[in-house]
Amino acid sequence: MLDLTQQRITVTGGAGFLGRVVVAKLKERGVAAENIFIPRRKDFDLTRVEDVARLYDTARPTVVIHLAAEVGGIGANRAHPGRFFFANMAMGLHLIEEARRRALRKFVHTGTVCAYPKFTPVPFQEENLWNGYPEETNAPYGVAKKALFVMLDSYQREYGLASTVVVPVNLYGPYDNFDPDSSHVIPALIRKCEEARLAQADHIVCWGTGSASREFLYVDDAAEGIVRAAQKMETPEPINLGTGSEITIRNLVELIAHLCDFRGRIEWDATKPDGQPRRCLDTSRARQRLDWQAQVGFEEGLRRTIAWYRQQ
C-alpha cells in the first residue's frame, strides 16, 4: 500500500466541492499541508499544455489526484457539449502525458457515471462501460472522461505508468454548485424548493416526466473511496463508487420538497429530457479492492446538504 505521507500530492480541483474533502482526508491520514499542492484556475489553465508543464515544474508531484472537470446538469451539457468535451479531454490528456514524461509514481483519475452506455443493465458493472454509447445529452463529457481510461491503460502497458480509475455516481453534499444554470439535480431541486417555500409559491415545475432513476453518493463517501484507491491500486481498472440503490426523480423531488418544508404542487415539463433512463451501480469491486462502502444514508445526507444551503 502506498504511504501517502511520503508523497508530494497535487490535487487538481482541490479547492472545489469534492476536492476540498479529498484534501481534508489526506490531512487526516497525516499528509503534511506543505506536501499538498492545489492549482488554481487563475494560475494554471489545465487545458493548455504549457500550463500543465509549469504545474509539474512548480509542484514537483509524485502523485496526481485529478478531480478538476468542467461539468453540469442536463441543461449545461446540452448548452456546452463542445466545451465539455474539449476541456475534460484536454486536461486529462496533458496531465497524463506529462506524468509519463516525468515518471510520476501514481496518477489517480476520477471518471464519471456518464461514461456508461445509455441502456446499461442495472446494476451497472464496470465491464459494461464499453458496451454502447452514453446517453446523448451528456455523451461528450462521458466519452472524454472514458477516453482517459483507455489512455491510462495504454500508458501502463507501454510505459509502466501506475494509475487508478474511480467511477463515482452522482455526488451531492455541502459546498455543491447551486447555480441554476449549471447545477446537478439535487442542488437544483434544493434551491428550487427553498426559493418556492420562501416565496410562498403554490407550485414548482420540474424537468422531464420524473420516471428516470438516479443513484446518489454523499461527497465525503466519494472522497474516502478516492483516497483509498490512491493508497491501494496500481492498475487503471475502473472501480465504481456508489451506494447500490436508486430512486426515481419523481420520488426524489417529493423527498426534497418534504425535507425543505415546501408544501405546494409539483408539476412536470415533459418537453424537457429525462436523461439516462436508470442509474444504479454495482459496487462489489470497491468492496473487494478498496474495502470501501458508502457510510452516509441518503436522507441524512440530504438533511446535511439542505442545512448547509440554508446557512449560506
Assigned domain for 35 exists: yes
Cis status, amide bond into 134, omega within 30 of 0: no
Q: Among 102, 228, 230, 116, which residue's Cα sits nearest to residue 155?
A: 102
The predicted pLDDT at position 223 comes to: 98
The predicted pLDDT at position 108 comes to: 98
Assigned domain for 130 exists: yes
The predicted pLDDT at position 75 comes to: 79
> 3-state class of 17 per DSSP?
coil
Assigned domain for 59 exists: yes
* Residue in 56, 116, 133, 141 annotated catalytic: 141
Assigned domain for 235 exists: yes
The predicted pLDDT at position 56 comes to: 98
Assigned domain for 202 exists: no
The predicted pLDDT at position 72 comes to: 77
Q: What are the per-10-residue average pLDDT scores of the chain (312 residues)?
A: 98 97 98 98 97 98 97 81 96 98 98 94 96 93 97 98 97 94 90 96 94 95 98 98 96 97 96 86 98 98 98 94
Assigned domain for 232 exists: yes
Q: Residue 67's domain spans which residues?
A: 4-172+217-245+278-296
- Beta strand extents in 111-232 (DSSP E only): 163-168, 170-172, 203-207, 213-214, 216-218
What is the chain's Cα-based Rg?
19
Active site annotation includes 155: no
Q: pTM for the full model?
A: 0.94
Assigned domain for 110 exists: yes
Assigned domain for 262 exists: no
The domain total for the chain is 1
| Cell numbers representing residue 285 in the block | 469491486
| Cell numbers representing residue 88 in the block | 475534460
CATH (domain of 143): 3.40.50.720
